[in-house]
Amino acid sequence: MRKVDSQGYAWCADYFGGNLTRFDPRTETFTIFKIPGPTPTPYGMGVDHNDNVWYTSFYTDVTGKLDPKTGKFTEYPSPYGERSTRDLNEDSKGRIWYGAENIFRVGYFRLRTASEMAALQDMK
C-alpha cells in the first residue's frame, strides 16, 4: 500500500501517540486521527485504493481501518497474536498482505462484501 493517498496526503503511524497522522503538503498542515481503544500502538500501516488507511496495533492485536472521509475506525481482531506486523500492502484483487516478523508468517486478508456475506447466510 502507499503511504500517500490519491489526494496527495502523506500518512504516518504515531506508535507512542496512538494516532494516524495526515500531512497536507499543499497547506503544510497536519491532521491527527486518534485511534480508539485502551492502548493503540499503530505499527504497520498503508493506504488502499479507496484512500482508507489500514494499520496494525502492536499491543492490542488488531488490524484497523480508518475512513478519513468520515473519521470512522473499524477494527478486526488478529487470529494469531501478530504483534510485530510490518507494512501492509494491497494487491490488485483487494487483498491486504502483511508480514509478521516475530512468528515468521506472511499472509493476507480480504473483507467480504455485503453481497458475499448475504450469500453465506443463504447457504446456512
pLDDT bin (cut points 50, 70, 90) of residue 36 is: very high
Q: What is the mean pLDDT of the chain?
A: 85
Q: Report the C-alpha dihedral over residues 37, 40, 43, 45, rounded to 10 degrees.
A: 40
| Per-residue pLDDT at 89 | 81
Q: Which CA distances in Å does 5 have to 61, 80, 97, 107?
A: 25, 29, 18, 23
pLDDT tens profile 71-80? 999 998 876 6
**Residue 119 domain boundaries:** 10-123
Residue 119 falls within a domain, yes or no?
yes
Tell me, what CATH number does 62's domain have?
2.130.10.10
